[in-house]
Amino acid sequence: MTTAALQARGIAKRFGALTALSDINLHVDPGEVLGLIGDNGAGKSTLIKILCGYHQPDAGQIVVAGQEVTLRSVDHARSLGIDTVYQDLALINELSVYHNMFLNRELVRWPLLNNRAMKRRAERHLKDMGVNLPDVGVEVAKLSGGQRQAIAVARSVYSDAKVLLLDEPLAAMGAKEGTMILDVIRDLKRRGDVSVIIIAHNYAQVLDVCDRVNLLQHGRITFDKRAADTSLEELTDLVVADYRRRR
Amino acid sequence: MADTAERTAEEAPPRAPRRVLDAFLRRREASVLLVALALMVYFRASSDVFLSRDNLVNIAQATAPTAIVAVGIVLLLVSGEIDLSVGIVAAFAPFLLHFAIDYYGVPVLLALVLALALAAFIGLVNGFIVTQLHVPSFVVTLGTFFAVQGLLLITSHAYPVPIPEPVQGTFQTWIGAGPWASITWAVVIVAVFHVVLTRTRWGLHTISVGGNPVGATEAGIRASRIKIGNFMITSALGGLVGIMEAARINTIDPNIGGGTTLTFYAISAAVIGGTALAGGSGTIVGALLGALVLATLQNGFNLIGYSANTIYLILGLAILASMIANQYLSRLRRAGKS
Ligand SMILES: Nc1ncnc2c1ncn2[C@@H]1O[C@H](COP(=O)(O)OP(=O)(O)OP(=O)(O)O)[C@@H](O)[C@H]1O
Ligand SMILES: [Mg+2]
């Protein structure tokens, strides 16, 4: 058996009286793309934020490449090769595209920012990804929802991360742009050394790009199958059946 | 889509001078610079002595303290906080200098460093309570204002003291008594912190923390550290201004050289200069210009012969007018850009 790139064991998280996650067991192998699905409010984003060091879990362990670790902070997780596209994108409206692309890992020629290098690299990365932007110097506030999302994804993809956590990277995307992001994920897959956990609500897209699918329900992973072994119908039935049962 | 936009831009290339003018007008500092220049022209026309050397020194000496404190205020406003206690820290700092030198025989430069360090410590306390105990900075710094005022009055017995012997002479001239000393400090400090805000990680993170607190933390920026740092910078600058002003008026007086007036002038200068109270954006050069506008208004109307009381009324109206104008202009600017 291969060592998982990232593994969660018995993760629990409460917010006051609310139990968001009760007992999460999940793993993603090196080079694997794992789809994480579940209802609104199921706790998917909470799980992502635990895996990237933003939240501390109340119980359970996180194992990175075979090593059990306590993720002290987002920076700490990043230093272990874990990078995140948050559902809210974590972009700073007041800053330019290229400053956002390098947020908190700015290129510096001490004591000053190396704006020229950041600009050049941001331009190149966005072009490689197929994002059309007239000017990387423009404030992020002036961009469309889809463009903002593309920038957040590009930021993580080009961070040299070993594990990418993508929380609904397709939410604001048009058909063309959504395909672009999926292509980027496929490219990563082809490279074979990057693992991806991707949250999405469009099961067709999930089956299209993922190797394996996990369903998060009631604070647990209740379903874990290879994408090849399941179908759109099965995933839809699972979620709807649960809804029927609870009514 | 992007292609069409580029092509239209190519079809109608703006002429070079027009472009330079556009670029200038889009700068946040442009409107306040124009206001400052207009005031200068007006007062020059109304009073012969307005541009005399002595009067320029007056304006410079009135601009400097406000501008220096406003530098800290801008950093705080940009990071989404405010400091109402900085003026009283300014009043306290020269006493710290006096205690260190006259009671403990500390050498002047070391005493200056100590006084500024203690001032910065007050900023640390402000920042700690704001970020760790999650109390709004408006309330926290209101509290420290009164607390430090109490400390000041207790330790000074509310009596002024002379400038310590070792400070007199060269040091006093350099730190604030020389005619151009304080404005030189102000320009240097403004230049340094303008670079800090616009060209360093610290500045970028200050903007991030004020613009999108959650997003900045998600990106791993340690918001508390940035905010505490900016509180400390503000208090230290307040302390420096207090010592400068004591040197200039040649006495250490608990009742002048600080307090709410300095704080309110600095906040006004920051906002007139184009810094929003909402956080995420601001300009330090603008704040210097804002301080210049305030000093010019006060000085000019004084020369024309208005009484000090009338000047307050004019000052208040001018502040309101320029803030409304700024609000309006920045909305125009935003509309023009997108
Ligand atoms: N910081 C927080 N404080 C309190 N409750 C929270 C917090 N973050 C999330 N929750 C709660 O935890 C539960 C799970 O939220 P989460 O955002 O993880 O859901 P999700 O699966 O990502 O949903 P969606 O598909 O809508 O994004 C929700 O009930 C939410 O209200
Ligand atoms: Mg979510």
- What one-character-per-residue DSSP string does B71-91 give? HHHHHHHHTT---SSHHHHHH
Helix, strand, or coil here: A26?
A: strand
Q: What is the count of structural domains for chain A? A: 1
What's the start-to-end Cα distance of chain B, in Å? 15
Q: Is residue A46 part of a domain?
A: yes
pLDDT tens for the 338 residues of chain B, in order: 333 333 444 444 556 777 777 777 667 788 889 889 999 999 999 999 999 999 999 999 999 999 999 999 999 999 999 999 999 999 999 999 999 999 999 999 999 999 999 999 999 999 999 999 999 999 999 999 999 999 999 999 999 999 999 999 999 999 999 999 999 999 999 999 999 999 999 999 999 999 999 999 999 999 999 999 999 999 999 999 999 999 999 999 998 767 899 999 999 999 889 888 889 999 999 999 999 999 999 999 999 999 888 888 988 887 788 777 767 766 776 665 44
Judged by CB atoms closer than 8 Å, whether chains meet at B212 and A115 is answered as: no
Query: In angstroms, rounded to a whole number, what is the distance separating the alpha carbons of residues B225 and B228?
Result: 5
Averaged pLDDT for residues A160-175: 91
Quick check: A223 pLDDT over 70?
Answer: yes
A45 CB within 6 A, ligand 1:
yes
pLDDT band at A93 (very low <50, low <70, confident <90, very high): very high
Comparing CA positions, the residue from A181, A179, A186, A180 lying closest to residue A167 is A181
Q: Is residue A68 part of a domain?
A: yes
Relative to beta strand A108-109, strand A112-113 is antiparallel
Q: Which ligand 1 atom sits closest to the C-alpha of A48? A: 18
Residues 6 or more apart whose CB falls under 8 angstroms from that of A29 comprise A2, A4, A5, A195
Query: In angstroms, rounded to a whole number, what is the distance separating the alpha carbons of residues B269 and B253?
Result: 24
Q: Which CATH number belongs to the domain containing residue A208 in this structure?
A: 3.40.50.300
User: Taking CB atoms and an 8 Å cutoff, what residues of chain B touch A86?
Assistant: 215, 218
C-alpha distances in Å from residue A119, one per residue of A16, A18, A98, B32, B337: 43, 44, 5, 30, 20
Averaged pLDDT for residues A84-90: 96
A82 CB within 6 A, ligand 1:
no
ipTM of the complex in this document: 0.94
Of A54, A95, A133, nearest to B218 by CB-CB distance is: A54
Helix, strand, or coil here: A218?
A: coil
Query: In angstroms, rounded to a whole number, what is the distance separating the alpha carbons of residues A235 and B3?
Result: 41
Place of tokens 């009338």: B310
- What is the Å distance from ligand 2's center to A93 Cα? 21
Residues 6 or more apart whose CB falls under 8 angstroms from that of B210 comprise B77, B78, B79, B80, B81, B279, B280, B281
Of A88, A104, A112, nearest to B200 by CB-CB distance is: A112
- What is the Å distance from ligand 1's center to A222 Cα? 18
Helix, strand, or coil here: B113?
A: helix
Of B201, B207, B215, nearest to A90 by CB-CB distance is: B215
Q: Whose CA is nearest to atom 9 of ligand 1?
A: A46
Judged by CB atoms closer than 8 Å, whether chains meet at A95 and B219 is answered as: no
Six token digits for residue A212: 């394996």
Decide: B278 and B129 in contact? Cβ < 8 Å: no
Decide: A178 and A14 in contact? Cβ < 8 Å: no
Q: How many CB atoms lie within 10 A of CB A109?
A: 10
Q: Which of A14, A45, A168 to mutate to test the pocket of ligand 1 (most atoms within 8 A of CB)?
A: A45
Q: What is the pLDDT of residue A177?
A: 84
Angle CA(B90)–CA(B93)–CA(B95) in degrees, nearest 5? 125
Helix, strand, or coil here: B169?
A: coil
Cis amide linkage into residue B166, ω under 30° from 0? no
Query: In angstroms, rounded to a whole number, what is the distance separating the alpha carbons of residues B51 and B100?
Result: 41
Six token digits for residue B38: 């207009």
User: Taking CB atoms and an 8 Å cutoff, what residues of chain A touch B195?
Assistant: 112
Amino acid at site B271: V
Of A75, A95, A106, nearest to B201 by CB-CB distance is: A106
Residue of chain A nearest B7, judged by CA positions: A134
Q: What is the pLDDT of residue A130?
A: 87
For the four alpha carbons of B208, B210, B211 and B214, in that order, the dihedral sign comes to: positive
For the four alpha carbons of A28, A31, A37 and A41, in that order, the dihedral sign comes to: positive
Six token digits for residue B219: 């990106």
Q: Is residue A182 part of a domain?
A: yes
Helix, strand, or coil here: A196?
A: strand
Averaged pLDDT for residues A135-148: 93
Q: Is residue A109 part of a domain?
A: yes
Q: Is residue A80 part of a domain?
A: yes
Average pLDDT of chain A, as a whole number: 94
Of A91, A94, A111, nearest to B281 by CB-CB distance is: A94
Place of tokens 């139990």: A19
Q: How many CB atoms lie within 10 A of CB A16?
A: 5
- Enclosing domain of residue A118: 6-246
Residue of chain A nearest B2, judged by CA positions: A134
- What is the Å distance from ligand 2's center to A43 Cα? 7
Q: Give kind and range of the element (H or E) at residue B336.
A: helix B308-337
Q: Give how far B86 is from chain A: nearest CA, Å.
A: 27
Decide: A14 and A60 in contact? Cβ < 8 Å: no
Q: Give how far A181 is from chain B: nearest CA, Å.
A: 19
Q: Which ligand 1 atom sits closest to the C-alpha of A168? A: 27
Q: Give how far B221 is from chain A: nearest CA, Å.
A: 6
Residues 6 or more apart whose CB falls under 8 angstroms from that of B244 comprise B64, B65, B68, B175, B176, B181, B182, B185
Decide: A42 and A35 in contact? Cβ < 8 Å: no
Decide: A220 and A24 in contact? Cβ < 8 Å: yes
Is A106's Cβ below 8 Å from some Cβ in B?
yes
Q: What is the pLDDT of residue A120?
A: 97
Query: In angstroms, rounded to a whole number, what is the distance separating the alpha carbons of residues A148 and A44?
Result: 21
Burial group, residue B316, by CB count within 10 angstroms (0-12, 13-18, 19+): exposed
Helix, strand, or coil here: B252?
A: strand
Q: What is the pLDDT of residue B333?
A: 65
Q: Is residue A49 part of a domain?
A: yes
A46 CB within 6 A, ligand 1:
yes
Q: What is the pLDDT of residue B257?
A: 62
User: Taking CB atoms and an 8 Å cutoff, what residues of chain A touch B200?
Assistant: 111-113
Q: Is residue A1 part of a domain?
A: no
Q: What is the pLDDT of residue B7?
A: 40
Decide: A34 and A47 in contact? Cβ < 8 Å: no
Six token digits for residue B92: 């306290």
Q: Minimum-distance ligand to the CA of A14?
A: 1
Comparing CA positions, the residue from A194, A185, A232 lying closest to residue A213 is A232
Q: What does R_g of chain B's alpha carbons equal in angstroms?
A: 21
- What is the Å distance from ligand 1's center to A41 Cα? 5
Query: In angstroms, rounded to a whole number, what is the distance separating the alpha carbons of residues A214 and A233?
Result: 15
Quick check: A221 pLDDT over 60?
Answer: yes
